Protein backbone atom coordinates (compact mmCIF):
# COMPACT_ATOMS: atom_id res chain seq x y z
CA UNK A 1 0.00 0.00 0.00
CA UNK A 2 1.19 3.51 -0.79
CA UNK A 3 0.95 6.37 1.73
CA UNK A 4 -1.94 8.10 -0.03
CA UNK A 5 -3.97 4.88 0.32
CA UNK A 6 -2.78 4.22 3.88
CA UNK A 7 -4.00 7.67 4.92
CA UNK A 8 -7.46 6.81 3.64
CA UNK A 9 -7.64 3.16 4.77
CA UNK A 10 -5.83 3.03 8.14
CA UNK A 11 -7.72 3.31 11.44
CA UNK A 12 -11.12 2.71 9.87
CA UNK A 13 -13.87 0.68 11.62
CA UNK A 14 -14.62 -2.78 10.25
CA UNK A 15 -17.45 -4.24 12.28
CA UNK A 16 -20.49 -5.84 10.65
CA UNK A 17 -23.14 -5.59 9.33
CA UNK A 18 -22.56 -1.87 8.76
CA UNK A 19 -20.37 0.84 10.26
CA UNK A 20 -19.64 4.52 9.74
CA UNK A 21 -16.80 5.43 7.41
CA UNK A 22 -14.87 7.09 10.25
CA UNK A 23 -14.38 5.70 13.75
CA UNK A 24 -16.72 7.92 15.79
CA UNK A 25 -15.82 9.85 18.93
CA UNK A 26 -16.23 7.64 21.97
CA UNK A 27 -16.20 9.84 25.07
CA UNK A 28 -15.71 7.72 28.17
CA UNK A 29 -13.89 7.52 31.43
CA UNK A 30 -15.64 4.39 32.77
CA UNK A 31 -16.13 1.16 30.80
CA UNK A 32 -18.50 -1.46 32.21
CA UNK A 33 -17.66 -5.15 32.03
CA UNK A 34 -20.69 -7.38 31.42
CA UNK A 35 -19.40 -10.10 33.77
CA UNK A 36 -16.62 -10.88 36.27
CA UNK A 37 -14.91 -13.05 33.65
CA UNK A 38 -14.92 -10.13 31.22
CA UNK A 39 -13.40 -7.96 33.99
CA UNK A 40 -10.62 -10.53 34.51
CA UNK A 41 -9.97 -10.55 30.77
CA UNK A 42 -10.14 -6.73 30.77
CA UNK A 43 -6.43 -6.03 30.68
CA UNK A 44 -6.38 -7.00 27.00
CA UNK A 45 -9.26 -4.75 26.03
CA UNK A 46 -10.44 -1.14 26.24
CA UNK A 47 -10.83 -0.67 30.01
CA UNK A 48 -10.60 2.98 31.03
CA UNK A 49 -10.74 6.29 29.19
CA UNK A 50 -7.23 7.44 30.04
CA UNK A 51 -5.81 4.23 28.58
CA UNK A 52 -7.48 4.95 25.26
CA UNK A 53 -10.86 4.43 23.59
CA UNK A 54 -11.49 2.96 20.13
CA UNK A 55 -11.17 6.54 18.80
CA UNK A 56 -7.63 6.79 20.17
CA UNK A 57 -6.74 3.32 18.89
CA UNK A 58 -7.92 4.23 15.39
CA UNK A 59 -5.65 7.30 15.29
CA UNK A 60 -2.73 5.35 16.77
CA UNK A 61 -3.13 2.66 14.09
CA UNK A 62 -3.24 5.22 11.31
CA UNK A 63 -0.08 6.99 12.55
CA UNK A 64 1.72 3.63 12.96
CA UNK A 65 0.84 2.73 9.36
CA UNK A 66 2.10 6.11 8.12
CA UNK A 67 5.35 6.15 10.12
CA UNK A 68 6.10 2.47 9.40
CA UNK A 69 6.51 1.65 13.10
CA UNK A 70 5.49 -1.03 15.58
CA UNK A 71 3.08 0.98 17.75
CA UNK A 72 1.96 4.57 18.35
CA UNK A 73 0.85 6.22 21.59
CA UNK A 74 -0.73 9.64 21.92
CA UNK A 75 0.16 12.60 24.14
CA UNK A 76 -1.84 15.76 24.85
CA UNK A 77 0.67 17.97 22.98
CA UNK A 78 3.68 17.64 20.76
CA UNK A 79 5.84 18.94 23.58
CA UNK A 80 4.64 16.29 25.98
CA UNK A 81 5.24 13.64 23.31
CA UNK A 82 8.89 14.78 23.12
CA UNK A 83 9.34 15.03 26.88
CA UNK A 84 7.61 11.73 27.75
CA UNK A 85 9.63 9.89 25.12
CA UNK A 86 12.85 11.29 26.61
CA UNK A 87 11.74 10.44 30.16
CA UNK A 88 11.03 6.86 29.11
CA UNK A 89 14.73 6.16 28.62
CA UNK A 90 16.63 8.16 31.24
CA UNK A 91 17.33 7.94 34.98
CA UNK A 92 19.50 9.95 37.39
CA UNK A 93 23.13 9.85 36.26
CA UNK A 94 22.31 9.44 32.56
CA UNK A 95 23.36 11.63 29.66
CA UNK A 96 21.47 12.87 26.58
CA UNK A 97 22.75 14.21 23.27
CA UNK A 98 20.38 16.78 21.80
CA UNK A 99 20.55 18.72 18.53
CA UNK A 100 21.29 22.40 18.98
CA UNK A 101 18.40 23.13 16.60
CA UNK A 102 15.77 21.36 18.74
CA UNK A 103 12.41 23.02 19.42
CA UNK A 104 13.23 25.34 22.32
CA UNK A 105 10.75 24.01 24.95
CA UNK A 106 12.10 20.45 24.36
CA UNK A 107 15.56 21.81 24.88
CA UNK A 108 14.51 23.64 28.05
CA UNK A 109 12.96 20.43 29.41
CA UNK A 110 16.42 18.83 29.27
CA UNK A 111 18.46 21.91 30.22
CA UNK A 112 16.35 22.93 33.21
CA UNK A 113 13.91 20.23 34.30
CA UNK A 114 15.85 17.00 33.75
CA UNK A 115 18.98 18.63 35.16
CA UNK A 116 17.22 18.82 38.55
CA UNK A 117 16.86 15.04 38.44
CA UNK A 118 20.53 14.42 37.68
CA UNK A 119 20.25 13.93 33.91
CA UNK A 120 22.84 15.84 31.90
CA UNK A 121 22.39 17.08 28.33
CA UNK A 122 25.05 17.93 25.76
CA UNK A 123 23.91 19.86 22.70
CA UNK A 124 25.48 18.91 19.36
CA UNK A 125 25.81 20.64 15.99
CA UNK A 126 22.76 19.59 13.93
CA UNK A 127 25.02 18.85 10.96
CA UNK A 128 27.26 16.51 13.02
CA UNK A 129 28.30 13.28 11.29
CA UNK A 130 28.79 9.84 12.82
CA UNK A 131 32.33 10.49 14.07
CA UNK A 132 31.36 13.82 15.68
CA UNK A 133 28.50 12.10 17.49
CA UNK A 134 30.63 9.10 18.45
CA UNK A 135 33.14 11.53 20.03
CA UNK A 136 30.38 13.04 22.20
CA UNK A 137 28.98 9.70 23.37
CA UNK A 138 29.69 8.74 26.98
CA UNK A 139 29.22 5.37 28.68
CA UNK A 140 26.04 6.81 30.27
CA UNK A 141 24.56 8.32 27.07
CA UNK A 142 21.10 6.82 26.84
CA UNK A 143 19.66 8.69 23.92
CA UNK A 144 20.28 10.94 20.96
CA UNK A 145 17.53 13.43 20.20
CA UNK A 146 17.22 14.76 16.63
CA UNK A 147 14.90 17.15 14.85
CA UNK A 148 15.26 17.15 11.10
CA UNK A 149 15.10 19.66 9.66
CA UNK A 150 15.36 22.06 12.62
CA UNK A 151 12.12 24.01 12.66
CA UNK A 152 13.76 27.46 12.89
CA UNK A 153 16.93 27.08 10.86
CA UNK A 154 16.22 24.02 8.67
CA UNK A 155 19.46 22.05 8.95
CA UNK A 156 18.96 18.46 7.76
CA UNK A 157 20.48 15.78 9.97
CA UNK A 158 22.32 12.67 8.78
CA UNK A 159 19.85 10.29 10.37
CA UNK A 160 21.30 6.94 9.23
CA UNK A 161 24.67 8.07 10.68
CA UNK A 162 23.02 9.05 13.98
CA UNK A 163 21.18 5.71 14.04
CA UNK A 164 24.44 3.85 13.61
CA UNK A 165 26.13 5.84 16.37
CA UNK A 166 23.16 5.18 18.67
CA UNK A 167 23.09 1.46 17.91
CA UNK A 168 26.82 1.06 18.52
CA UNK A 169 26.42 2.70 21.94
CA UNK A 170 23.15 0.83 22.73
CA UNK A 171 21.41 4.20 23.00
CA UNK A 172 18.02 5.19 21.56
CA UNK A 173 17.57 7.59 18.65
CA UNK A 174 14.46 9.76 19.05
CA UNK A 175 13.43 12.06 16.20
CA UNK A 176 11.02 14.99 16.15
CA UNK A 177 9.39 14.33 12.76
CA UNK A 178 6.85 17.14 12.78
CA UNK A 179 8.15 18.83 9.59
CA UNK A 180 8.11 15.65 7.47
CA UNK A 181 4.84 14.50 9.12
CA UNK A 182 5.52 10.83 8.34
CA UNK A 183 4.55 11.58 4.75
CA UNK A 184 7.77 13.13 3.44
CA UNK A 185 10.08 11.52 6.01
CA UNK A 186 10.22 8.13 7.76
CA UNK A 187 12.81 8.21 10.57
CA UNK A 188 11.99 4.66 11.70
CA UNK A 189 12.73 3.30 8.22
CA UNK A 190 16.06 5.19 8.39
CA UNK A 191 16.98 3.49 11.69
CA UNK A 192 15.43 5.64 14.46
CA UNK A 193 13.88 3.97 17.51
CA UNK A 194 11.17 6.56 18.03
CA UNK A 195 9.49 9.07 15.71
CA UNK A 196 7.49 11.87 17.29
CA UNK A 197 5.11 14.36 15.79
CA UNK A 198 3.44 17.45 17.11
CA UNK A 199 0.20 16.25 15.47
CA UNK A 200 -0.95 19.77 16.32
CA UNK A 201 0.69 20.80 13.04
CA UNK A 202 0.11 18.79 9.85
CA UNK A 203 -1.75 15.72 11.12
CA UNK A 204 -4.59 17.72 12.67
CA UNK A 205 -3.91 20.37 10.04
CA UNK A 206 -6.55 22.97 10.90
CA UNK A 207 -4.93 25.02 13.70
CA UNK A 208 -7.66 24.00 16.14
CA UNK A 209 -6.33 21.17 18.31
CA UNK A 210 -3.18 20.12 20.17
CA UNK A 211 -1.89 16.54 20.18
CA UNK A 212 1.34 14.54 20.09
CA UNK A 213 2.16 11.16 18.59
CA UNK A 214 4.98 8.82 19.62
CA UNK A 215 5.70 5.92 17.27
CA UNK A 216 8.10 3.18 18.37
CA UNK A 217 10.10 0.95 16.08
CA UNK A 218 9.82 -2.21 18.20
CA UNK A 219 7.94 -3.81 21.08
CA UNK A 220 10.51 -3.19 23.81
CA UNK A 221 10.76 0.52 22.95
CA UNK A 222 6.95 0.74 22.77
CA UNK A 223 6.60 -0.77 26.28
CA UNK A 224 8.86 1.90 27.76
CA UNK A 225 6.92 4.69 26.05
CA UNK A 226 3.63 3.19 27.23
CA UNK A 227 4.76 3.07 30.87
CA UNK A 228 6.17 6.60 30.77
CA UNK A 229 2.86 8.00 29.54
CA UNK A 230 0.92 5.85 32.00
CA UNK A 231 3.00 6.96 34.95
CA UNK A 232 2.71 10.60 33.93
CA UNK A 233 -1.09 10.24 33.90
CA UNK A 234 -1.16 11.47 30.33
CA UNK A 235 -4.56 11.77 28.67
CA UNK A 236 -5.80 12.89 25.24
CA UNK A 237 -9.43 13.81 24.65
CA UNK A 238 -11.31 11.51 22.28
CA UNK A 239 -12.51 14.62 20.44
CA UNK A 240 -8.94 15.70 19.70
CA UNK A 241 -8.03 12.16 18.59
CA UNK A 242 -11.02 12.18 16.23
CA UNK A 243 -10.14 15.62 14.85
CA UNK A 244 -6.58 14.51 14.20
CA UNK A 245 -7.61 11.33 12.38
CA UNK A 246 -10.10 13.37 10.35
CA UNK A 247 -7.26 15.75 9.46
CA UNK A 248 -5.07 12.82 8.40
CA UNK A 249 -7.55 11.76 5.73
CA UNK A 250 -6.57 14.83 3.70
CA UNK A 251 -2.90 14.96 4.78
CA UNK A 252 -1.51 13.92 1.39
CA UNK A 253 -3.56 16.47 -0.55
CA UNK A 254 -2.73 19.25 1.89
CA UNK A 255 0.96 18.46 2.13
CA UNK A 256 1.37 18.25 -1.64
CA UNK A 257 -0.23 21.69 -1.90
CA UNK A 258 1.80 23.13 1.04
CA UNK A 259 4.89 21.86 -0.77
CA UNK A 260 3.90 23.43 -4.11
CA UNK A 261 3.07 26.78 -2.53
CA UNK A 262 6.30 26.79 -0.49
CA UNK A 263 8.35 25.95 -3.59
CA UNK A 264 6.70 28.77 -5.54
CA UNK A 265 7.21 31.25 -2.71
CA UNK A 266 10.83 30.26 -2.31
CA UNK A 267 11.45 30.82 -6.05
CA UNK A 268 9.76 34.21 -5.86
CA UNK A 269 11.52 35.24 -2.65
CA UNK A 270 14.86 34.13 -4.11
CA UNK A 271 14.63 37.03 -6.59
CA UNK A 272 13.93 39.69 -3.95
CA UNK A 273 16.79 42.04 -3.21
CA UNK A 274 15.59 42.45 0.41
CA UNK A 275 16.67 38.89 1.30
CA UNK A 276 20.14 37.62 2.16
CA UNK A 277 19.31 33.91 1.86
CA UNK A 278 16.61 31.25 1.92
CA UNK A 279 16.55 28.40 4.46
CA UNK A 280 14.76 25.53 2.77
CA UNK A 281 16.26 22.05 2.31
CA UNK A 282 14.62 21.56 -1.11
CA UNK A 283 16.59 24.53 -2.48
CA UNK A 284 19.81 23.38 -4.17
CA UNK A 285 21.96 26.12 -2.66
CA UNK A 286 20.88 25.35 0.92
CA UNK A 287 23.17 23.26 3.09
CA UNK A 288 21.40 20.01 3.80
CA UNK A 289 19.97 19.74 0.29
CA UNK A 290 21.93 16.58 -0.53
CA UNK A 291 20.78 14.81 2.68
CA UNK A 292 17.21 16.00 2.10
CA UNK A 293 17.31 14.58 -1.44
CA UNK A 294 18.66 11.28 -0.15
CA UNK A 295 16.30 10.80 2.81
CA UNK A 296 13.07 12.75 2.16
CA UNK A 297 10.42 12.31 -0.53
CA UNK A 298 9.27 15.92 -0.41
CA UNK A 299 9.23 19.15 1.57
CA UNK A 300 6.45 20.63 3.65
CA UNK A 301 5.29 24.25 3.82
CA UNK A 302 7.61 25.54 6.56
CA UNK A 303 10.80 27.36 5.57
CA UNK A 304 12.90 30.33 6.51
CA UNK A 305 14.43 33.41 4.92
CA UNK A 306 17.10 35.76 6.23
CA UNK A 307 16.47 39.44 5.56
CA UNK A 308 19.30 41.81 4.77
CA UNK A 309 19.79 43.92 7.92
CA UNK A 310 16.89 46.35 8.29
CA UNK A 311 15.95 48.71 11.14
CA UNK A 312 13.05 47.80 13.44
CA UNK A 313 10.54 50.31 11.95
CA UNK A 314 11.04 48.67 8.53
CA UNK A 315 10.45 45.22 10.02
CA UNK A 316 7.33 46.44 11.78
CA UNK A 317 6.00 47.97 8.56
CA UNK A 318 6.64 44.66 6.75
CA UNK A 319 4.61 42.61 9.25
CA UNK A 320 1.85 45.16 9.71
CA UNK A 321 1.16 45.28 5.95
CA UNK A 322 0.13 41.62 5.75
CA UNK A 323 -3.48 40.88 4.92
CA UNK A 324 -3.12 37.10 4.44
CA UNK A 325 0.03 35.98 6.28
CA UNK A 326 -0.79 35.72 9.97
CA UNK A 327 1.74 36.55 12.68
CA UNK A 328 1.44 33.50 14.89
CA UNK A 329 3.27 30.72 16.65
CA UNK A 330 2.73 27.18 15.42
CA UNK A 331 2.31 26.09 11.80
CA UNK A 332 0.90 23.17 9.79
CA UNK A 333 -2.64 24.55 9.56
CA UNK A 334 -4.30 25.49 6.26
CA UNK A 335 -3.31 29.15 6.62
CA UNK A 336 -0.14 31.05 5.77
CA UNK A 337 1.99 32.46 8.56
CA UNK A 338 5.11 34.55 8.96
CA UNK A 339 7.06 34.99 12.16
CA UNK A 340 10.27 36.79 13.14
CA UNK A 341 12.29 34.09 14.94
CA UNK A 342 15.54 34.47 16.87
CA UNK A 343 17.70 31.32 16.64
CA UNK A 344 20.63 33.19 18.22
CA UNK A 345 18.77 33.16 21.55
CA UNK A 346 18.69 29.39 21.85
CA UNK A 347 21.97 27.96 20.62
CA UNK A 348 24.82 26.80 22.81
CA UNK A 349 26.80 24.25 20.75
CA UNK A 350 26.84 26.39 17.63
CA UNK A 351 26.31 30.07 16.98
CA UNK A 352 23.90 31.83 14.64
CA UNK A 353 25.76 34.70 13.08
CA UNK A 354 23.41 36.03 10.37
CA UNK A 355 22.99 39.77 10.87
CA UNK A 356 19.52 40.14 9.39
CA UNK A 357 16.20 39.04 10.88
CA UNK A 358 15.18 35.42 10.30
CA UNK A 359 11.64 35.11 8.97
CA UNK A 360 9.87 31.77 9.30
CA UNK A 361 7.17 31.27 6.70
CA UNK A 362 4.42 28.70 6.63
CA UNK A 363 2.99 28.41 3.12
CA UNK A 364 -0.73 27.71 3.52
CA UNK A 365 -3.28 26.54 0.99
CA UNK A 366 -4.27 29.96 -0.41
CA UNK A 367 -3.89 30.85 -4.07
CA UNK A 368 -0.21 31.45 -4.74
CA UNK A 369 -0.82 34.73 -6.60
CA UNK A 370 -2.63 36.15 -3.58
CA UNK A 371 0.26 35.12 -1.32
CA UNK A 372 2.80 36.77 -3.61
CA UNK A 373 0.67 39.93 -3.70
CA UNK A 374 0.56 39.95 0.11
CA UNK A 375 4.35 39.67 0.29
CA UNK A 376 4.74 42.33 -2.36
CA UNK A 377 2.61 44.63 -0.21
CA UNK A 378 4.76 43.87 2.84
CA UNK A 379 8.03 44.56 0.99
CA UNK A 380 6.57 47.83 -0.39
CA UNK A 381 5.61 48.90 3.15
CA UNK A 382 9.13 48.07 4.28
CA UNK A 383 10.62 50.20 1.48
CA UNK A 384 8.37 53.14 2.42
CA UNK A 385 9.45 52.87 6.05
CA UNK A 386 13.10 53.08 4.94
CA UNK A 387 12.61 56.33 2.95
C1 LIG B 1 9.18 20.98 15.82
C2 LIG B 1 8.17 21.06 16.92
N3 LIG B 1 8.12 20.07 17.82
C4 LIG B 1 7.24 20.10 18.83
C5 LIG B 1 6.36 21.14 18.99
C6 LIG B 1 5.43 21.15 20.15
O7 LIG B 1 4.11 20.90 19.77
P8 LIG B 1 2.87 21.35 20.66
O9 LIG B 1 2.71 22.82 20.46
O10 LIG B 1 1.74 20.52 20.16
O11 LIG B 1 3.21 21.04 22.08
C12 LIG B 1 6.38 22.19 18.08
C13 LIG B 1 5.44 23.34 18.22
O14 LIG B 1 5.63 24.40 17.65
C15 LIG B 1 7.32 22.15 17.01
O16 LIG B 1 7.40 23.16 16.10
DSSP 8-class letter at 297? S
pLDDT, position 259: 98
pLDDT, position 43: 65
Closest-CA residue, ligand 1 atom 9, reads 78
**CB 203, CB 251: distance < 8 Å:** yes
50 is catalytic: yes
Residue 52 has pLDDT above 70, yes or no: yes
Which atom of ligand 1 is found nearest the CA of 79?
A: 11
- Ligand 1 mean position, distance from CA 304 (Å): 17
**CB 99, CB 150: distance < 8 Å:** yes
- Tens digits of per-residue pLDDT, 284-335? 999 899 999 999 999 999 999 999 999 999 999 999 999 999 999 999 999 9
Distance CA 63, CA 96 (A): 26
Contacts with 23 (C-beta within 8 Å, 6 or more apart), sequence order: 11, 12, 13, 54, 55, 58, 242, 245
Closest C-alpha among 217, 170, 157 to residue 191: 217
Residue 385 has pLDDT above 80, yes or no: yes
Distance CA 323, CA 101 (A): 31
Peptide bond into 149 cis (omega under 30): yes
Closest-CA residue, ligand 1 atom 14, reads 330
Pocket test for ligand 1, best of 149, 198, 202, 211 (most atoms within 8 A of CB): 198
Q: How many CB atoms lie within 10 A of CB 203?
A: 30
Residue 362 has pLDDT above 80, yes or no: yes
- Residue 130 Cα distances to 97, 127, 162, 167, angstroms: 13, 10, 6, 11
pLDDT, position 42: 76
pLDDT, position 16: 79
Band of pLDDT at residue 15, cut at 50, 70 and 90: confident
- Tens digits of per-residue pLDDT, 111-163? 999 999 999 999 999 999 999 999 999 999 999 999 999 999 999 999 999 99
pLDDT, position 221: 98
Peptide bond into 17 cis (omega under 30): yes
User: Architecture of 3-248 per CATH?
Assistant: 3-Layer(aba) Sandwich (3.40)
176 is catalytic: yes
Q: Where are the domains of the chain?
A: 3-248, 251-386
Closest-CA residue, ligand 1 atom 2, reads 103
Active site residue: 12, 31, 39, 50, which one? 50
- Tens digits of per-residue pLDDT, 20-48? 999 999 999 999 999 999 998 876 689 99
- Ligand 1 mean position, distance from CA 198 (Å): 5
Pick the CATH number of 251-386 from 3.40.50.1220, 3.40.50.1360, 3.40.50.1370, 3.90.1150.10: 3.90.1150.10
- Ligand 1 mean position, distance from CA 15 (Å): 35
Contacts with 86 (C-beta within 8 Å, 6 or more apart), sequence order: 96, 106, 109, 110, 114, 143, 145, 174
The pTM of this model reads 0.97
pLDDT, position 14: 86
Distance CA 313, CA 387 (A): 11
Q: Is 157 exposed, middle or buried (0-12, 13-18, 19+ CB in 10 A)?
A: buried
- Ligand 1 mean position, distance from CA 271 (Å): 31
DSSP-derived secondary structure for 91-154 = -TT-EEEEETTS-HHHHHIIIIIIHHTT-EEEEE-TT--HHHHHHH--TTEEEEEEESS-TTT-
Report angle CA 156, 158, 161 to the nearest 5 degrees.
170
* Residue 303, helix vs strand vs coil: strand
Q: What is the mean pLDDT of the chain?
A: 96
Residue 62 has pLDDT above 70, yes or no: yes
Band of pLDDT at residue 374, cut at 50, 70 and 90: very high
Domains 3-248 and 251-386 share a fold: no
Percent of the chain with pLDDT over 70: 99
Distance CA 195, CA 189 (A): 10
**CB 173, CB 86: distance < 8 Å:** no
- Tens digits of per-residue pLDDT, 254-271? 999 999 999 999 999 999
Amino acid sequence: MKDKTRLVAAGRPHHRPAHPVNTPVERASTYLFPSYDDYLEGAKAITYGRLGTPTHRALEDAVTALEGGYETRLAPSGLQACNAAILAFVAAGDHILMTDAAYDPTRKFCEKFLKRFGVETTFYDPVAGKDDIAALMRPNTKLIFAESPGSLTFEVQDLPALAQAAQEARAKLIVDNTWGAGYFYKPIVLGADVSIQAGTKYLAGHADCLIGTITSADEQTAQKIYYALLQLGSNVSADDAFMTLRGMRTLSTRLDRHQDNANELVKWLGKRSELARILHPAVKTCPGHALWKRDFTGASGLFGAVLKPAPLPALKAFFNAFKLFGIGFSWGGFESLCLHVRPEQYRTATSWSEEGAVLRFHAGLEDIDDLKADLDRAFAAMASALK
